[in-house]
Homo-oligomer: A and B are copies of this chain.
Amino acid sequence: MNLLLLEEADFTAADRVILRDRRLTHMQEVHGVAVGDSVRVGRIGGLMGRAEVVRLETREAELQVVLDQAPPAKLPLTLVLALPRPKMLRRVFQTVATMGVAKVILVNSYRVEKSFWQTPFLQPEAIRENLVLGLEQARDTVLPEIIIEKRFKPFVEDRLPAITDGTLGLVGHPGNYPPCPRALQEPVTLAIGPEGGWIPYEVDLLAKAGLRPVQLGERILRVETAVTALLARLF
């Protein structure tokens, strides 16, 4: 945890918070803070700054907060991602939040196992919990927007063209395609397939919606690694 994220409910005054949960435990056990110590904090969706511990008890801590710093800019990116398997999904939520993705749209794909849609990691509280872990890692306060589009064809045909409009549309796909471009300044819509990749029908449909295939070399990457590698290359 490189940033202690504060929720609205933590605030007892404009510059005071009381903490009781895992954040208190973390401050005590990992950082070993004492009264008078200062920690980096950020308000969810708002500014970052520092907080001084003014009272510290076993079950709660009170902090005096100064918030004066903007969070880092988001990447100008909408990521369309075939739903990964649950364990991977959890890490992908953390990774996209850490890397600064603005918006993630989770879609179905022929190679996504139906059971993946039943995972508890898709519950709103679980999504938020993992996004918060990613923000705490990166030192950011702004939650990425997560959208679930369970039906591939209506999403790609009816809604994706408007999302792609005005952006560079790309599909990460192994094969004889141009290499993924580098160091872009413009907004991007990027689609990343499931383990085993998109099927040709899906690549065709994505192409009709304005996304052209690009490749990252002949090595096959796990979804989490592919997300990180493509983002690091693009921006």
Contacts and interface: CB of A to CB of B under 8 A. Distances in A.
Interface of A: 2, 72, 95, 98-100, 137-140, 182-183, 216-222, 225, 228-233
Q: Which 4 A-B pairs have the closest CB atoms?
A: A229-B232, A138-B219, A232-B232, A228-B228
Given A182-B182, A182-B183, A138 B228 contact: no
A138 B230 contact: no
Copies in the complex: 2
Given A228-B225, A233-B232, A219 B183 contact: no
A76 to B, nearest CB: 14
Given A72-B218, A138-B220, A229-B229, 7 more contacts: A2-B220, A98-B219, A98-B222, A140-B219, A182-B182, A228-B228, A228-B232
Contacts of A225: 95, 98-99, 228
13 contacts: A98-B225, A99-B219, A99-B229, A100-B219, A137-B220, A138-B219, A138-B221, A140-B219, A182-B182, A225-B228, A229-B231, A229-B232, A230-B232
Contacts of A229: 99, 228-229, 231-232
A137 B183 CA distance: 27
A130 to B, nearest CB: 13
